[in-house]
A and B are shown apart, each in its own frame.
Chain A
Amino acid sequence: MAKSSLDKKFDQIRKREEEKTFSTKKRSRIVNKFLNNRLAVLGLIIFTIIILASIFAPLLSPYDPMRVDLRSMRQPPSFDHWFGTDSTGRDVFTRVLFGGRVSIFIGLGSAILSAVVGIAVGCYAGYKGGWIDVIALRISEIFMSFPQIILVLLLVSITGQSLFNLMAIFILTGWGGMYRLARARMLSLREEEYVQALRSFGLSTFTICYKHMLPNALSPIMVNITLSTAMFILTEAGLSFLGLGVPLNIPTWGNILNVAQDILILQNYWWMWGPVGIVISVFVLCVNFIGDGLRDSTDPSQQG
């Protein structure tokens, strides 16, 4: 059978399509853009170093962060004690490493958990709308309008200080932001035609919103997770400095900083609070750089 002119035309188009070199995968384009952002890469490197150092703390330091050594109290930085020792002779460098474990765990853990809660609620409510959405929105507003510090005081006075309580408070006050972000994304995504197409097949709400829509809402959420991590770490440090955060016997960056409340230490023993302060600042800065880099590289309006 002779080919119709239509077939021929399509063959031509097809040939052209094959000749055209297809652009590289979307994923690698985002990675490339991220790697082009020097600050973000620098942030990622330092971030990784600090995290690895915290995880492998026992390998990096011969000291026990809790062991009191009265013979070497308040020693300035030396070859044996890189960041010096504190008032009970504990090695500050070791405490910063071990403190990083807890502080980063609190920051990252609270950010990820509040994202999980916020996304789970926000995706469903944003896609479904109706009364579920109204109720979730009001609840999130209530939690977000509560000053964190008052919630902390409340919970600490009721249940006492603990790491768990602190994280619970961070999640309670933090999920609202994530929820709103996820909800807003879903509200705009649900009008997209591919969502309508999935609905026209009668797929379940769960499949549509968590499997097919969520991946397209993730990039602003990832950015927000990094930024919240930084914020939670700072808040933990602030609360622990005031003696309201993690119980003092657990080393965290905030608890190490706590000694600077003493004017004597603040004036005479800079190594007890200086290095840990710098580590906190550098870490938070790095996390923010990473967040900015992620935002720029995933922003579809800036695709180059």
Chain B
Amino acid sequence: MKKEILKLRGVKVHFPVQAGVFNRVVGHVLAVDGVDLDIFRGEVLGLAGESGCGKTTLGKAILRLVEPTDGEVKYISKDDNETELTSLEKKDMDPFRKKLQIVFQDPHSSLNPSFTIFGSLQDPLKKFGIKSKEERRKIIGDLLEAVNMRREYMDRYPHEFSGGQRQRIGIVRALCLEPELIVCDEAVSALDVSIQAQVLKLLMQLKKEKNLTYLFITHDLSVTEYLCDRIAVMYLGRIVELCDSEDLYNNTLHPYSEALISAIPVADLDKQTKRIVLEGDVPSPVNPPKGCPFHPRCPKATDICKTEVPTLKKYSTNGNEHYASCHLIDLPEIS
């Protein structure tokens, strides 16, 4: 039986847009606009979508690095205790900060240039009760070895490391309090392809060893198929399709996912499908289009798409649950 670790219900993150001399609020960026999502223990959930669709913001909202404007983030512990995170006081959040961690995208800004690796990693350990310095050094040293680096590296400064090494140090940081869920925010996008593969393998290896759950954010659907158990596709702050990763590629339901998948370069010539080119840019999340947010760019759009907002409905493909939000799906909806 699959058990949830996180349940998101109606999560919204709206950033105020200020203008003028008095910084009046003239509108809101609807970065995340009503996301319902369950993440199961031990799975790798991919979160895909174009740049600016709110993936990072959603990841940060889970950790409360940005405060959600609305909605609930529930954490379910191993013994089935449910806690709503967004309404917690700052200090009550601490036990959950241990469980939820994040690996960032940019290896150049992810480490503090003024501190050695040990220097910048030791404060979190101290805060969470590891009082002796020897113990802290041991934990960090062991983790460095777990990501195939040498213990001694903990006394070096970030500028002495390459991008791939820095990213592995970022992984060490995320692992140092033995978390249960790690948000990998485009953790490999900034690296060379060969190094990407190594870091990805390392992540998967660590997942197995430490029973981790990943929320794997990416804008590149070509890597997700092999890594992720399920994939959620986001567009303008909403989830438009959510299903097992195989089904996303073989039984695509949403036109936006189709377009993303067709953009993946294929090596096999016979398999080459027609590429669907999306016209125009992602609309501004300040004024999302009426009706289906995707309709100005959707090749299949009809009149109903311009007026009515499609909701995320449950279907079944291949015997698996498959969620999608589009008016033109002719599968029976299941409840």
Seen from chain A, the residues whose Cβ lies within 8 Å of a Cβ on chain B are 6-7, 9-10, 13-14, 17-18, 22-23, 25-26, 192-194, 196-203, 207, 211-212, 215-216
- In this complex, what residue of A is CB-closest to B164? A13
Contacts A26-B157, A203-B127 aside, 17 further interface pairs with beta carbons under 8 A come to A6-B201, A6-B202, A10-B148, A14-B149, A22-B156, A194-B120, A196-B104, A197-B102, A197-B110, A197-B173, A198-B120, A200-B97, A207-B123, A211-B123, A212-B115, A215-B114, A216-B114
Contact of A13 among B148, B156, B159, B160 (CB under 8 A): B148
CA distance A73 to B156 in the complex (A): 64
Q: In the complex, what's the smallest C-beta–C-beta distance from B217 to chain A, in angstroms?
A: 13
For B184-225 the 0/1 string (1 means CB < 8 A from A) is 000000000000001001100100000000000000000000
What is the number of residues of chain B that contact chain A, defined by CB distance less than 8 Å?
41
User: In the bound complex, how far is the Cα of B112 from the Cα of A207, in angstroms?
Assistant: 14
- Asked if B101 is at the interface of the complex by the 8 Å CB criterion, the answer is yes
Q: How far is it, in angstroms, between the C-alpha of A216 and the C-alpha of B202 when the chains are bound?
A: 31
For A23, give its contact among B60, B106, B120, B159 (CB under 8 Å).
B159
| In the complex, B63 has a CB within 8 A of chain A | yes
Q: Which residues of A contact B102 (CB under 8 A)?
A: 196-197, 200
CB–CB A26/B127 < 8 A: no
Residue pair A212, B160 in contact (C-beta under 8 Å): no
Chain A-chain B contacts (Cβ-Cβ < 8 Å), number: 81
Q: Is B57 positioned at the interface, with any CB of A under 8 Å from its CB?
A: no
B65, B124, B156, B157: the one within 8 Å of A196 (CB): B65
Q: Which residues of B lie under 8 Å from residue A14 when comparing CB positions?
A: 148-150
Contacts of A13 in B (CB 8 A): 148, 198
Selected from A17, A26, A192, the residue in CB contact (under 8 A) with B159 is A26
B110 touches A200 (CB 8 A): no
Q: Are B112 and A194 in contact (CB under 8 A)?
A: yes
B94 at the interface (CB under 8 A from A): yes
Interface of A is mostly: helix
- Chain B residue at minimum C-beta to C-beta distance from A10: B148
> Cβ of A6 and Cβ of B65 under 8 Å apart?
no
Residue of B nearest to A29 (CB): B159
| Distance to closest chain B CB from A132 (angstroms) | 15
For A198, give its contact among B123, B149, B157 (CB under 8 Å). B123
B105 to A: closest C-beta gap in Å: 7
Q: Cβ of B112: which chain A residues have Cβ within 8 Å of it? A: 194, 212, 216
Contact A203 B148 (CB under 8 A): no
For A25, list chain B residues within 8 Å (CB).
157
B121 to chain A, nearest CB (A): 10
In the complex, 20 of the A-B residue pairs with CB atoms within 8 angstroms, ordered by the A residue number, are A6-B201, A6-B202, A9-B198, A13-B198, A18-B150, A192-B109, A193-B110, A197-B173, A198-B124, A200-B63, A200-B100, A201-B177, A202-B94, A202-B97, A207-B123, A212-B112, A212-B120, A212-B123, A215-B115, A216-B112
Report the bound CA distance from A89 to B128 in whole Å. Answer: 70
Top-6 shortest CB links A-B: A215-B114, A201-B124, A193-B104, A10-B148, A193-B110, A202-B97
Q: Which residues of A contact B111 (CB under 8 A)?
A: 194
Partner of B104, one of A6, A23, A197: A197
